[in-house]
Structure 1
Amino acid sequence: MGELTTNVNFIAVIVGAILSFIAGWAWYSPMLFGTKWAEGSGVKLGTANDMPLAAMASQAIGLLLMSWFVGVTAAHEMLATVILATLGFAVLAYSGNTFSGKTAYARNVDAGYWIAALVVMIIVQGVL
Protein backbone atom coordinates (compact mmCIF):
# COMPACT_ATOMS: atom_id res chain seq x y z
CA MET A 1 0.00 0.00 0.00
CA GLY A 2 2.97 2.29 0.52
CA GLU A 3 3.55 2.63 -3.22
CA LEU A 4 0.24 4.52 -3.43
CA THR A 5 1.38 7.25 -1.06
CA THR A 6 5.20 7.30 -0.88
CA ASN A 7 6.65 10.44 -2.47
CA VAL A 8 3.28 11.36 -4.01
CA ASN A 9 2.74 15.11 -4.27
CA PHE A 10 -0.85 15.28 -3.02
CA ILE A 11 -1.07 19.04 -3.57
CA ALA A 12 -0.33 18.39 -7.26
CA VAL A 13 -2.87 15.55 -7.24
CA ILE A 14 -5.62 17.83 -5.91
CA VAL A 15 -4.67 20.79 -8.11
CA GLY A 16 -4.48 18.51 -11.18
CA ALA A 17 -7.95 17.13 -10.49
CA ILE A 18 -9.43 20.60 -9.95
CA LEU A 19 -7.84 22.06 -13.08
CA SER A 20 -8.96 19.04 -15.12
CA PHE A 21 -12.50 19.48 -13.82
CA ILE A 22 -12.42 23.16 -14.86
CA ALA A 23 -10.98 22.16 -18.24
CA GLY A 24 -13.91 19.74 -18.62
CA TRP A 25 -16.36 22.52 -17.83
CA ALA A 26 -14.84 24.59 -20.66
CA TRP A 27 -14.42 21.56 -22.98
CA TYR A 28 -18.09 20.61 -22.80
CA SER A 29 -19.43 24.17 -22.72
CA PRO A 30 -21.01 25.85 -25.73
CA MET A 31 -17.81 27.95 -25.96
CA LEU A 32 -15.89 24.91 -27.22
CA PHE A 33 -17.39 21.53 -28.08
CA GLY A 34 -20.53 21.32 -25.92
CA THR A 35 -23.28 22.15 -28.35
CA LYS A 36 -22.28 19.73 -31.10
CA TRP A 37 -21.19 17.13 -28.49
CA ALA A 38 -24.65 17.28 -26.86
CA GLU A 39 -26.34 16.77 -30.21
CA GLY A 40 -24.09 13.80 -30.96
CA SER A 41 -24.62 12.35 -27.50
CA GLY A 42 -28.38 12.65 -27.42
CA VAL A 43 -28.41 15.00 -24.45
CA LYS A 44 -29.73 18.51 -23.98
CA LEU A 45 -27.49 21.18 -22.54
CA GLY A 46 -29.23 22.86 -19.66
CA THR A 47 -28.70 25.95 -17.59
CA ALA A 48 -26.52 26.25 -14.53
CA ASN A 49 -29.61 25.40 -12.46
CA ASP A 50 -29.94 22.07 -14.31
CA MET A 51 -26.46 20.74 -13.49
CA PRO A 52 -26.46 16.94 -13.03
CA LEU A 53 -24.96 16.86 -9.54
CA ALA A 54 -24.47 13.08 -9.37
CA ALA A 55 -22.62 13.09 -12.69
CA MET A 56 -20.48 16.03 -11.59
CA ALA A 57 -19.64 14.37 -8.27
CA SER A 58 -18.63 11.10 -9.91
CA GLN A 59 -16.59 13.07 -12.48
CA ALA A 60 -14.77 14.88 -9.67
CA ILE A 61 -14.04 11.60 -7.87
CA GLY A 62 -12.85 9.96 -11.09
CA LEU A 63 -10.57 12.90 -11.86
CA LEU A 64 -9.15 12.80 -8.34
CA LEU A 65 -8.40 9.09 -8.72
CA MET A 66 -6.87 9.62 -12.15
CA SER A 67 -4.75 12.49 -10.84
CA TRP A 68 -3.63 10.28 -7.94
CA PHE A 69 -2.63 7.63 -10.48
CA VAL A 70 -0.60 10.28 -12.31
CA GLY A 71 0.98 11.26 -8.98
CA VAL A 72 1.91 7.68 -8.13
CA THR A 73 3.46 7.05 -11.51
CA ALA A 74 5.31 10.38 -11.37
CA ALA A 75 6.69 9.55 -7.91
CA HIS A 76 8.04 6.26 -9.24
CA GLU A 77 9.23 7.72 -12.57
CA MET A 78 6.72 5.64 -14.52
CA LEU A 79 4.66 8.29 -16.33
CA ALA A 80 4.65 6.15 -19.47
CA THR A 81 2.45 3.72 -17.52
CA VAL A 82 -0.26 6.32 -16.88
CA ILE A 83 -0.05 7.55 -20.47
CA LEU A 84 -0.59 3.99 -21.73
CA ALA A 85 -3.44 3.40 -19.27
CA THR A 86 -5.18 6.66 -20.18
CA LEU A 87 -4.91 5.94 -23.89
CA GLY A 88 -6.36 2.48 -23.23
CA PHE A 89 -9.26 3.94 -21.23
CA ALA A 90 -9.88 6.58 -23.90
CA VAL A 91 -10.10 3.88 -26.58
CA LEU A 92 -12.41 1.78 -24.39
CA ALA A 93 -14.63 4.82 -23.76
CA TYR A 94 -14.63 5.49 -27.51
CA SER A 95 -15.72 1.90 -28.08
CA GLY A 96 -18.47 2.11 -25.47
CA ASN A 97 -19.66 5.40 -26.93
CA THR A 98 -19.81 3.73 -30.34
CA PHE A 99 -22.09 1.03 -28.92
CA SER A 100 -24.30 3.67 -27.30
CA GLY A 101 -24.81 5.43 -30.61
CA LYS A 102 -22.84 8.63 -30.10
CA THR A 103 -21.65 10.34 -33.24
CA ALA A 104 -17.98 10.25 -34.22
CA TYR A 105 -17.73 13.91 -33.21
CA ALA A 106 -19.07 13.22 -29.70
CA ARG A 107 -16.79 10.19 -29.33
CA ASN A 108 -13.77 12.25 -30.36
CA VAL A 109 -14.69 15.04 -27.94
CA ASP A 110 -14.96 12.55 -25.06
CA ALA A 111 -11.68 10.80 -25.90
CA GLY A 112 -9.96 14.13 -26.45
CA TYR A 113 -11.07 15.33 -23.03
CA TRP A 114 -9.44 12.36 -21.29
CA ILE A 115 -6.19 13.01 -23.09
CA ALA A 116 -6.40 16.74 -22.31
CA ALA A 117 -7.10 15.98 -18.64
CA LEU A 118 -4.05 13.71 -18.55
CA VAL A 119 -1.87 16.43 -20.07
CA VAL A 120 -3.11 18.93 -17.46
CA MET A 121 -2.36 16.47 -14.64
CA ILE A 122 1.14 15.68 -15.92
CA ILE A 123 1.95 19.38 -16.29
CA VAL A 124 0.75 20.06 -12.75
CA GLN A 125 2.93 17.22 -11.44
CA GLY A 126 5.92 18.75 -13.25
CA VAL A 127 5.27 22.29 -12.05
CA LEU A 128 4.40 21.58 -8.43
Structure 2
Amino acid sequence: MDIALMNWTAIVVGTIAAFGLGMIWFSPMMFGKSWAAGSHNIQPPASPPIMAMVIQFVGTALLALVVGITETNQAIMTAVGAILAVTFVVAGMDLFSQKSGKATVIDAGYVVASGALMILAQGLI
Protein backbone atom coordinates (compact mmCIF):
# COMPACT_ATOMS: atom_id res chain seq x y z
CA MET A 1 0.00 0.00 0.00
CA ASP A 2 1.39 3.34 -1.07
CA ILE A 3 -0.11 5.99 1.20
CA ALA A 4 0.78 8.65 -1.37
CA LEU A 5 -1.86 7.14 -3.67
CA MET A 6 -4.60 7.39 -1.07
CA ASN A 7 -7.24 10.07 -1.50
CA TRP A 8 -6.62 11.88 1.78
CA THR A 9 -9.09 14.62 0.92
CA ALA A 10 -11.86 12.03 0.54
CA ILE A 11 -10.81 10.37 3.80
CA VAL A 12 -11.02 13.68 5.68
CA VAL A 13 -14.30 14.66 3.99
CA GLY A 14 -15.76 11.21 4.68
CA THR A 15 -14.74 11.46 8.34
CA ILE A 16 -16.22 14.92 8.80
CA ALA A 17 -19.40 14.06 6.87
CA ALA A 18 -19.97 10.87 8.88
CA PHE A 19 -19.27 12.60 12.20
CA GLY A 20 -21.60 15.45 11.22
CA LEU A 21 -24.26 12.94 10.23
CA GLY A 22 -24.06 11.53 13.76
CA MET A 23 -24.79 14.95 15.21
CA ILE A 24 -27.93 15.15 13.07
CA TRP A 25 -28.88 11.43 13.32
CA PHE A 26 -28.91 11.44 17.12
CA SER A 27 -30.43 14.91 17.49
CA PRO A 28 -33.95 15.31 18.91
CA MET A 29 -35.09 16.38 15.42
CA MET A 30 -34.27 12.96 13.95
CA PHE A 31 -33.83 9.82 16.05
CA GLY A 32 -32.44 11.22 19.31
CA LYS A 33 -35.62 10.95 21.37
CA SER A 34 -36.42 7.40 20.24
CA TRP A 35 -32.78 6.38 20.66
CA ALA A 36 -32.60 7.82 24.21
CA ALA A 37 -35.87 6.14 25.20
CA GLY A 38 -34.59 2.80 23.92
CA SER A 39 -31.22 3.32 25.58
CA HIS A 40 -32.46 3.16 29.17
CA ASN A 41 -33.85 6.72 29.00
CA ILE A 42 -30.47 8.41 28.67
CA GLN A 43 -30.75 12.10 29.52
CA PRO A 44 -28.62 14.80 27.87
CA PRO A 45 -25.49 15.45 29.95
CA ALA A 46 -24.93 18.78 31.68
CA SER A 47 -21.87 19.35 29.49
CA PRO A 48 -20.83 17.84 26.16
CA PRO A 49 -19.36 14.32 26.54
CA ILE A 50 -15.94 15.31 25.19
CA MET A 51 -14.22 11.93 25.68
CA ALA A 52 -17.07 10.09 23.96
CA MET A 53 -16.92 12.55 21.07
CA VAL A 54 -13.14 12.16 20.73
CA ILE A 55 -13.38 8.36 20.73
CA GLN A 56 -16.24 8.48 18.20
CA PHE A 57 -14.25 10.83 15.95
CA VAL A 58 -11.16 8.60 16.08
CA GLY A 59 -13.23 5.51 15.30
CA THR A 60 -14.95 7.32 12.44
CA ALA A 61 -11.59 8.45 11.05
CA LEU A 62 -10.22 4.91 11.26
CA LEU A 63 -13.21 3.50 9.37
CA ALA A 64 -12.82 6.23 6.72
CA LEU A 65 -9.15 5.25 6.47
CA VAL A 66 -10.12 1.60 5.88
CA VAL A 67 -12.51 2.75 3.16
CA GLY A 68 -9.71 4.84 1.63
CA ILE A 69 -7.28 1.92 1.69
CA THR A 70 -9.76 -0.40 0.04
CA GLU A 71 -10.59 2.18 -2.63
CA THR A 72 -6.88 2.63 -3.41
CA ASN A 73 -6.54 -1.13 -3.84
CA GLN A 74 -9.76 -1.34 -5.90
CA ALA A 75 -11.31 -3.55 -3.24
CA ILE A 76 -14.25 -1.40 -2.16
CA MET A 77 -16.32 -4.50 -1.39
CA THR A 78 -13.86 -5.10 1.45
CA ALA A 79 -14.94 -1.73 2.85
CA VAL A 80 -18.58 -2.74 2.50
CA GLY A 81 -17.78 -5.94 4.40
CA ALA A 82 -15.98 -3.97 7.13
CA ILE A 83 -18.91 -1.58 7.47
CA LEU A 84 -21.36 -4.47 7.71
CA ALA A 85 -19.13 -6.18 10.28
CA VAL A 86 -19.06 -3.03 12.43
CA THR A 87 -22.84 -2.76 12.02
CA PHE A 88 -23.37 -6.26 13.40
CA VAL A 89 -20.86 -5.71 16.23
CA VAL A 90 -22.69 -2.52 17.25
CA ALA A 91 -26.06 -4.29 17.08
CA GLY A 92 -24.76 -7.15 19.20
CA MET A 93 -23.31 -4.77 21.78
CA ASP A 94 -26.60 -2.87 21.92
CA LEU A 95 -28.59 -6.04 22.49
CA PHE A 96 -26.16 -7.23 25.17
CA SER A 97 -26.65 -3.90 26.94
CA GLN A 98 -30.42 -4.46 26.66
CA LYS A 99 -31.20 -1.52 24.43
CA SER A 100 -34.53 -1.70 22.65
CA GLY A 101 -34.80 -3.04 19.13
CA LYS A 102 -35.57 0.48 17.91
CA ALA A 103 -32.42 1.94 19.51
CA THR A 104 -30.39 -0.92 18.05
CA VAL A 105 -31.73 -0.25 14.55
CA ILE A 106 -30.97 3.46 14.98
CA ASP A 107 -27.36 2.71 16.02
CA ALA A 108 -26.85 0.13 13.26
CA GLY A 109 -28.49 2.39 10.69
CA TYR A 110 -26.07 5.16 11.58
CA VAL A 111 -23.10 2.86 10.92
CA VAL A 112 -24.48 1.93 7.49
CA ALA A 113 -25.33 5.53 6.59
CA SER A 114 -21.96 6.89 7.73
CA GLY A 115 -20.15 4.13 5.86
CA ALA A 116 -22.13 4.99 2.74
CA LEU A 117 -21.04 8.63 3.10
CA MET A 118 -17.41 7.53 3.36
CA ILE A 119 -17.70 5.41 0.21
CA LEU A 120 -19.52 8.25 -1.56
CA ALA A 121 -16.70 10.65 -0.64
CA GLN A 122 -14.18 8.26 -2.19
CA GLY A 123 -16.28 8.01 -5.35
CA LEU A 124 -16.91 11.72 -5.81
CA ILE A 125 -13.67 13.37 -4.71
TM-score by length of 1: 0.92
Which position in structure 1 is the counterpart of 2:77?
80
**Residues 84 and 4 of structure 1: CA distance in aligned 2, closer, same or farther (over 3 Å):** farther
**SS in structure 2 of the partner of residue 50 of structure 1:** coil
Cα offset, 1:6, TM superposition: 4.4
Gapped runs of 5+ residues in structure 1?
none
Asked if structure 2 preserves the Cα contact closer than 8 Å seen for 1:94 and 1:107, the reply is yes
Which position in structure 2 is the counterpart of 1:20?
18
Asked if structure 2 preserves the Cα contact closer than 8 Å seen for 1:73 and 1:82, the reply is yes
Cα offset, 1:45, TM superposition: 2.5
Which position in structure 1 is the counterpart of 2:93?
96
Which position in structure 2 is the counterpart of 1:44?
43
Asked if structure 2 preserves the Cα contact closer than 8 Å seen for 1:4 and 1:72, the reply is no
Asked if structure 2 preserves the Cα contact closer than 8 Å seen for 1:98 and 1:107, the reply is yes
C-alpha RMSD over aligned residues: 1.2
Asked if structure 2 preserves the Cα contact closer than 8 Å seen for 1:6 and 1:75, the reply is no
> What is the total number of aligned residue pairs between the two structures?
124
Distance in 2 between residues matched to 1:100 and 1:124, nearest whole Å: 33
Q: Which amino acid aligns with 1:45?
A: P
**SS in structure 2 of the partner of residue 29 of structure 1:** coil
Distance in 1 between residues matched to 2:2 and 2:22, nearest whole Å: 26
Q: Give CA-to-partner distance per residue, 1:22-64, whole Å, 9 cap, x none.
A: 0000000001000110111121134xx6210000001111111
Which position in structure 2 is the counterpart of 1:5?
3
TM-score by length of 2: 0.94
Gapped runs of 5+ residues in structure 2?
none
**SS in structure 1 of the partner of residue 59 of structure 2:** helix
Cα offset, 1:4, TM superposition: 6.3
Cα offset, 1:99, TM superposition: 0.8
Q: Give identity over the alignment, percent.
A: 34
Distance in 2 between residues matched to 1:9 and 1:74, nearest whole Å: 9
Q: Give CA-to-partner distance per residue, 1:69-107, whole Å, 9 cap, x none.
A: 100000111010010111111111111110101000000
Distance in 1 between residues matched to 2:64 and 2:85, nearest whole Å: 16
